Amino acid sequence: METRKTYRAYCLDLDGTVYRGSEIVEEAAEFIEQLQQQEIEPFYITNNASKTQQQLQDKLAGFGIAAKKERIMSSAIAAAKYIKRWYPEKTVYMIGSDGLDQALRQEGLERVEEEADIVLIGLDRSITYDKLATACLEVRKGAVFLSTNKDLAFPSEKGFLPGNGAITRLVSASTGVEPVFIGKPEIHMLEAIQHESGFEKSEMVMIGDNYDTDIQAGIRFGIDTIHVNTGVSSTETVVEKEHPPTYTIDNLGYWKI
């Protein structure tokens, strides 16, 4: 396959696209190396809000991928940037882990335990009733309700475990308030990249394996999309969608730079 278009911003999903759990997708690693040889640094886009930029950079380094930390965009980082942009100087009550806490600190946002302007929920493996109760009380008092992503479950070696979307749904069900979700398939991560880097939408492309998150995010944001058949959604499924990806390839080895 010949290159059909050259982009300035290649936005790569991680799990299922660049790697699968603890295994690298070789064609993706080679694709990234080809981009870097042409002095194009891709962006790395993940709904995972629990890991810090450093942890994600270290994981990629373990696969031999030299990713620039500032090019890693998790739903935690996007959430912090969203708050900094649209709710400057507002306080945050947070449920989440190190990735979300560090993202808020990087943007200079203040965390509080009560009387919060914003309630932000990310995956918290040490969740307690008291944390959930506080979130509900703050939302009921009028705090803006945000959540990093709507993933109801995520895979582990034990099977599928409750995801952030399940935690968020409990607070939403109790309060009757729907949150603003930040992660894919919403557009906020891609919008943050465009806002900070100044790309035109025609210069951006979203690459991923999951139609319902990666590809939908690109479609909703109005940029080109490339589906790879290396993870969740099969090629046969996505080509039948009402709004199919711009391009569908088996793996990134078929996309020549």
List, by residue number, the catalytic residues.
13, 15
Q: Is 214 annotated as a binding residue?
A: no
Question: How wide is the angle at C-alpha 122 spanned by C-alphas 9 and 128, nearest 5°?
Answer: 170
Which residues does 205 contact at the CB level (< 8 Å), separation at least 6?
A: 5, 7, 9, 10, 11, 218, 223, 224, 225, 226, 246
Q: Are strands 153-156 and 92-95 parallel, antiparallel or unpaired?
A: unpaired
Which residues does 48 contact at the CB level (< 8 Å), separation at least 6?
A: 14, 15, 56, 74, 75, 99
Question: Can you tell me the distance from the alpha carbon of 29 to that of 49, in angstroms, rounded to the nearest whole number?
Answer: 23
Copy the structure tokens of residue 194.
């465009």
Question: Can you tell me the distance from the alpha carbon of 184 to that of 187, in angstroms, rounded to the nearest whole number?
Answer: 7
Which residues does 156 contact at the CB level (< 8 Å), separation at least 6?
A: none
Helix (H) or strand (E) holding 119: strand 118-121
Question: Can you tell me the distance from the alpha carbon of 188 to that of 147, in angstroms, rounded to the nearest whole number?
Answer: 12
Q: Is 209 annotated as a binding residue?
A: yes
Copy the structure tokens of residue 111.
């965390």
Task: Please name which of 207, 243, 242 lies closest in space to residue 226, comparing C-alpha atoms.
Answer: 207
Copy the structure tokens of residue 166.
């399940």
List, as residue ranges, the binding site. Answer: 13, 15, 184, 209
List, as residue ranges, the binding site for Mg(2+). Answer: 13, 15, 209
List, as residue ranges, the binding site for substrate. Answer: 184
